[in-house]
Structure 1
Amino acid sequence: MFDDVRKIAGLAWPVLIGQLAIIAFGVIDTAMVGRFSATDLAALGLGSSIYISVYIGLTGILTALQPIAGQLYGAARYEEIGEEVRQALWLALALAALGFLVLYFPHPLLQLARAPEALRERTVSYLQILAFGLPASLAFRVYSSLTNAVGQPRLVMILQIGALMLKVPLNLLLIFGKLGMPALGGPGAALASILINWTLAVVGMVVLTKLDVFQPFAIFRHFCWPVWRRQAAQLKLGVPMGLSYLIEVTSYTFMALFIARFGTTTLAGHQIAGNIGAVLYMTPLSIGIATSTLVAQALGAHRYEAARTLARHGIAMAVAIACGYGVIVLALRPVIIAGYTPNAQVLQAAMPLVLIVAFYHLCDALQITSAFVLRAYRVAVVPTLIYAIALWGVGLGGGYALGFDLGGWVPESLTGARGFWLANTASLLIAGVGLALYLRSISTRIGAGRHSG
């Protein structure tokens, strides 16, 4: 077991640092644009919610390359990896065209938000700039999926840390108009992001051509047109994966929209709890990605029992660390919340929600690691159905019933934001148990030599 934990940890820590760097991007944009103007900050928030939904849905599809390449790597079928990467880049180009249209013409989505004219104009400018960076973002996702698949996550981490170091000076230059540049506000943050995204994409492609670890794949040694058979295989796995990411994002987004009806103080408490949960989430996410890589490689090498053992140890590792995080959150709850706000009313609103977060995170760790291991087995349709039923049905539906006391029977202690958080925790528990049981069934069938279907 300790040998497996060591292998998983060795792949997980670079992923964790890279994920924290990505979170820092959003924090930096929010802090710096907030100092420019309130309108630009609101446009950033509205534009980011639209962009993230598009970005996560499309990059989720391209993440299918990771289990596919991981299994091929374990089977030592190296030239096929190169072919899959070329096909993934073609797929990224097609998805970028689709996403570009949504981002460059966001007016129907903004009409749903009923935003004031000034806010709408700044949001459109923000999104139209980001549209030109989407192809680079998707190309970099292909790069990161491949490097994770072959056990080289540090190659992603190094570039993400470098990008973070560029973000602050570029933001200063473009948001506030330093060195003779015009002050662009929120759109300046978007321009800084696309410059960084294109730099990451170009550097990533160069790395694929230069480093020895990628030479056996012969990725760019010859040109090829899209091959429908391989495109279809990636889409068959990628579309449900992208949809599952969207379900996670939208379930949380709608929870925030509903909680906003309870007032700004309650919403502020919810934001604190949500931010704590998001930071904690990065650890099981990283363990899930690392475990998925090792399981996919073991499956490719037909080491089915090793794959099952790695999966079990990875999930146990994530859950154990989540228990430790939960104890820390429970013990330091007042101190952690006080670090976010000096407002006594907001602190009071956040206290019960952060209490729930300690248990919410444990369920989150179980579901995310189980989901990633199932993707290593190239299984995604049933997990997506489990997500939809649990997160949309129990989480949002149950949260709405509790939060707004639809039946008139809900105790006051379970209404409001607490009702939504409790229902969301229950939904993650159901998803986690469902995914873990389904993984057990799939791994047993694969191990017995039968087709998974």
Structure 2
Amino acid sequence: MYKTDTWQEKTKLFLIILGPILVTQLGMYAMNFFDTVMSGNAGAEDLAGVAIGSSLWVPIFTGINGIMLALSPIVAQLTGADQKQDVPSAVRQGVYLSTLLALVVLIIGSFILNPILNMMELEPEVRTIAKQYLIALSTGIIPLFIYNGLRSFIDALGQTRVTMVITLLSLPFNIIFNYVFIFGKFGLPAYGGVGAGIATSLTYWVTLLFTIFLLVRVRPFSTYSIFSILEKPSLRAWWNQLKIGVPIGFAIFFEVSIFSAVTILMSTYNTNTIAAHQAAINFASFLYMIPLSIAMALTIAVGFEAGGNRREHAKQYSYLGISIAVVLSILCGIAIYVFDDPVARLYNDRPEVIEMTKHFLYYAIFFQLSDAFGAPIQGALRGYKDVNITLIMALVSYWVIGLPSGYLMATYTFFGPAGYWMGLIIGLAAGAIALFARLLYVQRKAPSQTSKSQ
């Protein structure tokens, strides 16, 4: 990151930061995308099992990962305030904290996995696949959490191309591992949907090894000597990160978990409905990586300017990011409408699954437009370190408004399972409106001090 003065300079720098983040996010989600597509080609039961497993895992991962995202505004503001000497310690403590959180997830998961699956009205084969998929995936949780902490450090320095390279190097491994373990190649048995969990776990380990190598050997990261000192864990440093990260994590959890809750509620329908829902939500979530990437770029840009007390510049970056997200969302909506049939056929070849997937995709056009507003605004607010109110807004918008609305429409109207998608649209729209109001308040509560800093 560096200081900019004109809109043209800001747009150029923002796109330079955004491009690699977007490729990285699309690449990371491509692992889930290939898991779903290749599992679906193994059978509808495998696709449904991976759908249930993912619906339980993704909210946990994204919520905990939100805590690690706190490193981005922390490092960005330290560098913006010319306090780079404090960065290495913050990153080391972040690695310790991410390891601890991974262990907590593993321990809790070992106790609650069976009871949760047994409460769901699943076909026995689907339940077995979901359980074994999650067990296989759990062997990669520790490297995944550590990587996301290190990635926040890399991105906060504006070196987003590095995480892009790491992801692009790791993605082929995921595809090869999926091919081998899902379909049973090179003498190995065909694990079906469970093989997707094995493949993803192995890919997480590969990704972490690539990252550590670059941080040790490549400048400017090597100059920070992250791994050269065995620093004592600091409860104070953990608390500073948790104060920012926990609200971020819960806000993300409340948003992502509503999608998982819908998938779980849909377990009362037949396997074809679950499979179609998972296919549609998987593709829509793939497109969600666009506004999410813009949000991450805004956290870096806004955090840098806010850390340097250049509030007017931070405000300009906020509106720049939102505008780009809305334009891209409209283009994605057109693409979904035009290519609905080819997209649906990627996941399964059963005619009834294909038709139902296309039906769900039409609803995805509208809720991804709400995401184009909401996600970038959340990213900008994180740059300001304003995270507590957004947590409450997320809870109310998604769980008090969105999910109950979806349940009522699915249960008492002609929408049926599509009623849950209507609820998603309502919840996301309510969240976007509330977040925008909060952004306006944050930007106005303190006078611009740009003139003093120039």
Separation in structure 2 between the aligned mates of residue 107 and residue 262 of structure 1, nearest angstrom:
21
Rate the CA distance shift 1:77–1:246 in 2: closer, same or farther, 3 A: same
Q: Which stretch of the first structure deviates more once superposed, 350-359 or 417-426?
A: 350-359
Rate the CA distance shift 1:247–1:199 in 2: closer, same or farther, 3 A: same
Displacement of 1:220 after TM fit?
A: 2.5
Query: 1:25: which partner in 2?
Result: 31
Displacement of 1:259 after TM fit?
A: 4.7
| Alpha-carbon contact 1:87-1:230 (below 8 Å) kept | yes
| Alpha-carbon contact 2:38-2:347 (below 8 Å) kept | no
Rate the CA distance shift 1:38–1:341 in 2: closer, same or farther, 3 A: closer
Gaps of 5+ in 2: 1-6, 450-454
Query: 2:4: which partner in 1?
Result: none
Rate the CA distance shift 1:272–1:108 in 2: closer, same or farther, 3 A: closer
| Alpha-carbon contact 1:103-1:128 (below 8 Å) kept | no
Please tell me the residue identity of whatever aligns with 1:85: V
Please tell me the residue identity of whatever aligns with 2:89: E
Separation in structure 2 between the aligned mates of residue 96 and residue 248 of structure 1, nearest angstrom:
21
Query: 1:439: which partner in 2?
Result: 439
Please tell me the residue identity of whatever aligns with 1:443: Q
Separation in structure 1 between the aligned mates of residue 446 and residue 270 of structure 2, nearest angstrom:
51
Query: 1:429: which partner in 2?
Result: 429
Separation in structure 2 between the aligned mates of residue 258 and residue 51 of structure 1, nearest angstrom:
16
Please list, as runs of the form range in 1=range in 2, the aligned pairs for 1:238-317 lying within 5 A after superposition: 238-259=245-266, 261=268, 270-271=277-278, 273-317=280-324
Rate the CA distance shift 1:431–1:344 in 2: closer, same or farther, 3 A: same
Rate the CA distance shift 1:353–1:165 in 2: closer, same or farther, 3 A: closer
Q: Which stretch of the first structure deviates more once superposed, 202-211 or 230-239?
A: 202-211
Separation in structure 2 between the aligned mates of residue 349 and residue 181 of structure 1, nearest angstrom:
34
State yes or no: 1:385 paired with 2:400: no
Please list, as runs of the form range in 1=range in 2, the aligned pairs for 1:5-404 lying within 5 A after superposition: 5-34=11-40, 41-105=47-111, 106-113=113-120, 122-181=129-188, 183-259=190-266, 261=268, 270-271=277-278, 273-330=280-337, 349=356, 353-404=360-411
Gaps of 5+ in 1: none
Separation in structure 2 between the aligned mates of residue 215 and residue 144 of structure 1, nearest angstrom:
14
| Alpha-carbon contact 2:51-2:274 (below 8 Å) kept | no
Rate the CA distance shift 1:309–1:98 in 2: closer, same or farther, 3 A: same
Please tell me the residue identity of whatever aligns with 1:253: S
> CA offsets, 1:90-145, max 9 Å, x none?
10111011012134442232222355666555544433333231110011001211
State yes or no: 1:4 paired with 2:10: yes
Separation in structure 2 between the aligned mates of residue 281 and residue 131 of structure 1, nearest angstrom:
24
Separation in structure 2 between the aligned mates of residue 349 and residue 119 of structure 1, nearest angstrom:
19
Rate the CA distance shift 1:447–1:334 in 2: closer, same or farther, 3 A: farther
Please tell me the residue identity of whatever aligns with 2:56: I
Displacement of 1:389 after TM fit?
A: 0.7
| Alpha-carbon contact 2:44-2:275 (below 8 Å) kept | no
> CA offsets, 1:253-298, max 9 Å, x none?
2223445556666656644543442233121111111122111111
Rate the CA distance shift 1:44–1:358 in 2: closer, same or farther, 3 A: closer
Rate the CA distance shift 1:129–1:423 in 2: closer, same or farther, 3 A: closer
Rate the CA distance shift 1:69–1:446 in 2: closer, same or farther, 3 A: farther
Q: Which stretch of the first structure deviates more once superposed, 386-395 or 21-30?
A: 21-30
Q: Which stretch of the first structure deviates more once superposed, 347-356 or 310-319?
A: 347-356
Count of aligned positions: 442
Separation in structure 1 between the aligned mates of residue 183 and residue 67 of structure 2, nearest angstrom:
36
User: Is the partner of 1:416 in helix, strand or coil?
Assistant: coil
Separation in structure 1 between the aligned mates of residue 222 and residue 447 of structure 2, nearest angstrom:
32
CA RMSD of aligned residues (A): 3.0
Rate the CA distance shift 1:442–1:260 in 2: closer, same or farther, 3 A: same
| TM-score when normalising by structure 1 | 0.87
Displacement of 1:189 after TM fit?
A: 3.4
User: Is the partner of 1:76 in helix, strand or coil?
Assistant: coil
> CA offsets, 1:393-433, max 9 Å, x none?
1111112223323xxxx6x5xx3344333332222122112
Rate the CA distance shift 1:68–1:249 in 2: closer, same or farther, 3 A: same
| Alpha-carbon contact 2:406-2:420 (below 8 Å) kept | yes
Rate the CA distance shift 1:190–1:230 in 2: closer, same or farther, 3 A: same
Q: Which stretch of the first structure deviates more once superposed, 2-11 or 369-378?
A: 2-11
| TM-score when normalising by structure 2 | 0.87
> CA offsets, 1:372-403, max 9 Å, x none?
11111112111111111111111111122233
Separation in structure 2 between the aligned mates of residue 335 and residue 167 of structure 1, nearest angstrom:
23
Rate the CA distance shift 1:186–1:137 in 2: closer, same or farther, 3 A: same
User: Is the partner of 1:212 in helix, strand or coil?
Assistant: coil
Displacement of 1:177 after TM fit?
A: 4.5
| Alpha-carbon contact 1:99-1:131 (below 8 Å) kept | no
Displacement of 1:435 after TM fit?
A: 0.7
Displacement of 1:44 after TM fit?
A: 3.3
| Alpha-carbon contact 1:15-1:286 (below 8 Å) kept | yes
Separation in structure 2 between the aligned mates of residue 347 and residue 47 of structure 1, nearest angstrom:
21
Separation in structure 1 between the aligned mates of residue 195 and residue 341 of structure 2, nearest angstrom:
37
Separation in structure 1 between the aligned mates of residue 284 and residue 405 of structure 2, nearest angstrom:
20
Separation in structure 2 between the aligned mates of residue 24 and residue 361 of structure 1, nearest angstrom:
18
User: Is the partner of 1:127 in helix, strand or coil?
Assistant: helix
Rate the CA distance shift 1:340–1:54 in 2: closer, same or farther, 3 A: closer
Rate the CA distance shift 1:35–1:264 in 2: closer, same or farther, 3 A: closer
Separation in structure 2 between the aligned mates of residue 395 and residue 120 of structure 1, nearest angstrom:
27
